[in-house]
Amino acid sequence: MSTIIERIKMRAKENKKTIVLPEVMDRRILEATEIILKEGIADIILVGREEEIAESAKGLDISGVTFINPYTSSFTYELVNSLYSLRRDKGMTLEKAKELLLNDYMYYACMLVKEGYADGVVSGACHSTSNTLRPALQILKTKMEDTRMNKLINVNIKNENGKLLVGSRDIAVGLEKEHKDVLRKREDVLTVGEFSEREFTTSQGNKYKEYLLDKNAFILLVMNYTGYNDFKRAYIKRFDEMEKQLSFYIPQSFPEALRCLAAEVEQRELMQKQRDEGAWPHRTSRDKELCKIKAWFTRLEKNILPKKFLFVERVARSQDAN
């Protein structure tokens, strides 16, 4: 258990967030604040009167925390108007919005997150479940924003010689994670044979590794991230659409057909090697498609190639004769 907690702390430190704590009347919250600041896990905002919080926090070191007093903060005017705009169709007035924000710090905390001044809220120590969830559901909702959904659909899926692949950097952008976080998750979830590796160069000339994942590897990876359900469904749907298009694809030129053939042979040899080594014990969902491709190349070998080579031979003989 301690190992898991330490890993969570480490990841929090690497991607530090700003968290609002509205329950400043509970000393346990202030004790937790001291620990969080000391270990550098997150930046903390405490909502309330600074002098009252300082009195409750006697004996604790919470230097470095940000205090926001709703009665004097410059944020309040903006948050009142934003809450009014958000809830006016539900009967909200400016007076009621101001009353809520000044008297219920959970609403104030959720509005700070809504407006982008913080990344999250932690509450529930002394609020009931309903009083904790009501502001969050009214203000932050539960659905993913359309902008994130659009990012997902536009993630770059590459068709490399008939194989649909997505890069780890593109996944990081779609999930709004740092690339190193996705790489770490890849190490925990995927095994050899479920991804390929390549190198990319930054604009500064630095070289780094990224990984290419097919549909199955992508699913294994993203299912280990909590949430993002709309994100996952839309991405898998896009994979399915591209696979359907790919199943009807026929090379448009002789060189392209040869490249596809070479890639197919290489893929089958790799799969066989992995099966022999025990790294890939199961048949993949692509086997049926591979059989179709093999049948197409068989027809290519029997019908098209001999005619093409015969034509080349005749041209060569005619040139020799001349």
CA distance 47 to 171: 36
Which structural domains are found in the chain, ordered by start? Answer: 2-139 (3.40.50.10950), 146-248 (no CATH), 250-322 (no CATH)
- Name which residue leads in pLDDT, 28 or 277: 28
Mean pLDDT of 278-288: 49
pLDDT, residue 277, reads: 61
Tell me which of 16 and 255 has the higher pLDDT.
16
Higher-confidence residue of 226 and 123: namely 123
Q: What are φ and ψ of residue 209, in 5° steps?
A: -100, 145
209 vs 321 pLDDT, higher one? 209
pLDDT reported for residue 85: 87
Distance CA 258, CA 297 (A): 9
pLDDT number for residue 145: 45
Half-sphere CA count of 162, side-chain side, radius 13 A = 24
Whether the per-residue pLDDT at 311 is higher than 60: the answer is no
Q: How many angstroms from the chain centroid is the CA of residue 129? A: 29
Number of DSSP helices (H) and strands (E) in the chain, helices first: 15, 8
Q: Rounded CA gap, 5 and 10, in Å? A: 9
pLDDT of residue 99: 93
pLDDT tens column, 81-108: 989 988 888 888 999 999 999 999 999 9
Whether 257 shows a pLDDT value over 70: the answer reads: no
**Range in 7-21, 123-137, 170-184 the model is least confident about:** 170-184
